[in-house]
Amino acid sequence: MAVLSITRHRRYTRNHTWHADIAGRPLFLKASPDPAEARAEHAGHARIRALYPVPRLHGALRIGPWMLTAYERWPPAGTGGLLLDEITSADQYGGTARLDACVDAVFACYHTAIGQTLRLAPARETVTKLYSDRATPGGRLDAYYQSDRPWCLSDTVRVRPSELSALRLTVNGKDHAVDFATVLTWCRAHLDPGRLVWAAVTQGDPTDLNIGWSPASGPVWFDYDTGGLNALPGEFACFLLYQRLHGAWLTPRYNPAAFRDHPGALAPTGSPPPAAHATLRSSSLTINYRHAPSATRRHVIRRYLDEIVLPTASRLGINGVAQWLRPYLVMRLLAVYDLATLQPADTALSLALLAQVIDPVTPLTSILSLDRSAATNSLR
């Protein structure tokens, strides 16, 4: 019997991972070239482990410029995978009974953790990586958009962000206005480190790649560098927009390597692929788009909205849920991918969604493709 076995090497951005069996103990090894990032992950793991099921962290070792971390490999028993796998299976085979069992268990952990740790705090006391840090001078918003590079919206339509304020923008037949400089200023103001936010201890980046579930072992959370006290509207916006746009389209399209062990997630779901058509005539920019996540993802979005977001907002006395989430939704649209680097139809789709998100009269259900009209929208 082998004392040491190392298999299944994977690379995610700059990090490398392996499965290892050492004297019969199953481990998950992660090597990071950034020790500070690794230490942030260790700290996040420590902050959430009392509230969320997480694999045990066995230890870490500095090897030159690299940090090697050893976790318990999950699941320790039974069969299971990621929330992503449950969504994919329901997409492909129909029925949501098993997916709902997964979601029930995940949401139960959320309810308990949020209920125990909810408090009003200055934004600087929360984990700021995904929002405030990206909005501060020199952050990702500046890196992406300060140079005012043109966005390609079609083969013939190119618009610089600074030009949007002079354009009449029509999205799927409805007029909108996008003053990009004002949007950025507004976002920075809402994400100011001194601003008070409702916060709770969460994992901070709740994508369906970071949440696992097994019928035998229950739910589990992975990836901890954003773990800790997080702004709740940021947590909610991340989950909702990942199901609405990123997990449903952009992440598989631009980072397919992340799905190497989940190839079913790259298969067609029955929903038509996104399409967006942009035209520019004089001072009028028109974008007609069609994009809805699969029926299964809409089911998950609806449950998350109805069972997590709306009850939490009601408890806090927040009536305008869309307004509460809006700055964070904008950041998820602008500060995950640089819109100047996407394929034209994806940039047009992102701009169209941005216009809808900042519009105070567009319902959150329409933004999330939960309205029947939004889910069945066709190009005109």
The pLDDT of residue 80 is 60
Please tell me whether residue 372 adopts helix, strand or coil conformation.
helix
Burial class of residue 180 in the structure, from the number of CB atoms within 10 Å of its CB (0-12 exposed, 13-18 middle, 19+ buried): buried
The pair of structure tokens assigned to 353 is 């969604």
Q: Give dist(CA 83, CA 105) in Å, integer.
A: 11
For the chain, domain boundaries:
4-72, 81-375
pTM of the full predicted structure?
0.94
Over residues 272-299, mean pLDDT: 95
- Of the options 3.30.200.20, 3.40.50.11310, 3.40.50.300, 3.30.470.30, the CATH number for the domain spanning 4-72: 3.30.200.20
Output the six-digit token pair for 104.
């029930």
DSSP count for the chain of H helices, then E strands: 14, 17
* Chain centroid offset of residue 296 CA: 17
Write the CATH number of the domain with boundaries 81-375.
Answer: 3.90.1200
> Which tokens is 373 given?
């009209």
Collect all residues with Cβ–Cβ distance below 8 Å to 379 and sequence separation of at least 6: 275, 277, 288, 289, 290
Say if strands 275-281 and 284-290 run parallel, antiparallel, or are unpaired. antiparallel
State the chain's mean pLDDT as an integer. Answer: 93
Averaged pLDDT for residues 319-347: 98
pLDDT value of position 22: 87
Query: Which pLDDT score is estimated for 1?
Result: 47
pLDDT in tens, 24-55: 889 999 999 999 999 999 999 999 999 999 99
Number of Cβ within 10 Å of residue 136's Cβ equals: 16
In the block, which residue shows the tokens 């098993």? 98
Closest to 48 measured CA to CA, from 198, 224, 238: 224
CA dihedral over 6, 8, 9, 12, signed as positive or negative: negative
Q: Is 96 helix (H, G, I), strand (E, B) or coil?
A: coil
pLDDT value of position 276: 97
Confidence of residue 2 (pLDDT cuts 50, 70, 90): low
E-state strands within the chain: 4-12, 15-22, 25-32, 57-63, 66-72, 81-82, 119-122, 151-152, 158-159, 168-171, 174-176, 196-202, 211-214, 218-221, 228-231, 275-281, 284-290
State which H helix or E strand residue 334 sits in.
helix 321-334
pLDDT tens digits along 337-349: 999 999 999 999 9
Give tens-digit pLDDT for 159-171: 999 999 999 999 9
Residue with tokens 């964070």: 328
Which 3 state secondary structure label does DSSP give 98?
helix
Same fold across 4-72 and 81-375: no
Alpha-carbon span 140 to 318, nearest angstrom:
29
